[in-house]
Every structure is written in structure tokens, then in C-alpha cells.
Amino acid sequence: MVGDLDSISPALHAEWQDADVEFFQFPPDKDETDLELALLEAVKRGADQIVILGALGRRVDHELGNLLLLAHPSLAQIDVRIVVGQQEIVLVRDRAEWNGRPGDLLSLLPIGGDAYGVVSRGLEYPLCDEVLRFGPARGVSNVFTVSKPSVCLKEGLLLAVHTRRVEER
């Protein structure tokens, strides 16, 4: 358990202590969020894959901060993803591939500036050495045409949101 522990109940804290959960408690007045501290601890322990749950849904400032943490320099060599419901969010630094089904959605949002040389394969609206500008929503809601589409870029960062389509019953 990593963080300032300001939102954990005393009963749950005691239960986890009894279960020998390791605690890394920080003061509430700190420069990092609890999630950032937890990610840095995972990196320190040698994680090569991190799945983040519960990072979205309560406060927009925390949501944005959590999404932008995907661009943290310490995470550059680690497979990190935020999962919420049918959505999976990753940062594309140079190349990425997804596993899904035709009809799934993929949104590509440049962060930190424009993304240059964007090329996509297996999407309904192809990108061929394109520039996705920071701000405009051009990369939102593209559609998988294959089960394993891919995207690469020459320069910049893309926040990629894969939304799995829900089967109708």
C-alpha cells in the first residue's frame, strides 16, 4: 500500500496490516500523487507491466493527472495501461498494436504537442504519415477493421483509447 492513506478506513488498514501488507506511507503534503508514488515504487521493484484500475471517475483533475502520468519518463520502457470498463488507455511513444475485434474503437489524442508521422494499419480511417495536432479531435473514434490494428509515429506522444464494442444479446 503506497500513499498518504488519507482515504483508507482504520478497519481496512488494520485488516491489511494483519495480512502482512507492506505499507509505504507518505505525508499528505507532497509533490506526487499517490498513484505516481505507487508507479515509481513498481518501477523500483522491477515491474515490466502495470495495469492501473480505479484511476478515472471521481475528479476531473485527478483523471487528467492520472492519464498524463502515462507519459512519466520513468515509465518509458514499461507496458502501462489504465483499464476502466470496456476501455483501455495506453501511451504510444513510437509504436503500438492492439488486440480486439473489428468494430472496436480507437481514439488517438496527441498530448504535449503535435504528433508527427502517424501511420495506422487496420483502421477504417487510415493515417499515412499524418500530423495529429494537439487540440483538434481528428483522431477520435476510428474503427478497427482487423483484430490487430497498429499505429506508429515518428515524433510526439499519443494517448490511445481502445474501446471494446459490447456484444448485443
Angstrom distance (rounded) from CA 89 to CA 3: 23
Q: Is the pLDDT of residue 33 over 60?
A: yes
Angstrom distance (rounded) from CA 166 to CA 124: 19
Angstrom distance (rounded) from CA 21 to CA 142: 42
Question: What is the DSSP track for 16-28?
Answer: HHHTT---EE--S
Burial class (CB in 10 A: 0-12, 13-18, 19+), 51: exposed
Side-chain half-sphere CA neighbours of 161 within 13 A: 16
Show me where the domains of the chain are located. 1-84, 86-169
- Lowest average pLDDT, out of 31-35, 40-44, 147-151, 164-168, goes to 164-168
Angstrom distance (rounded) from CA 94 to CA 85: 26
> At 168, is the pLDDT very low, low, confident or very high (cuts 50, 70, 90)?
low
Nearest to 90 by CA among 61, 52, 45: 52
What is the fold of 86-169? Jelly Rolls (2.60.120)
Angstrom distance (rounded) from CA 155 to CA 109: 13
The predicted pLDDT at position 41 comes to: 94
Q: What value does the mean pLDDT take over residues 27-36?
A: 87
* Three-state SS at 39: helix
pTM (global) more than 0.85:
yes
pLDDT 10s digits, 101-150: 999 999 999 999 999 999 999 999 999 999 999 999 999 999 999 999 99
Q: Which residue has the higher pLDDT, 157 or 169?
A: 157
- Listed as own residue / partner, the contacts of 54-63 with beta carbons closer than 8 Å and 24 or more positions apart are 55/82, 55/84, 56/82, 56/84, 57/84, 62/33
What is the fold of 1-84? Rossmann fold (3.40.50)
Angstrom distance (rounded) from CA 132 to CA 113: 9
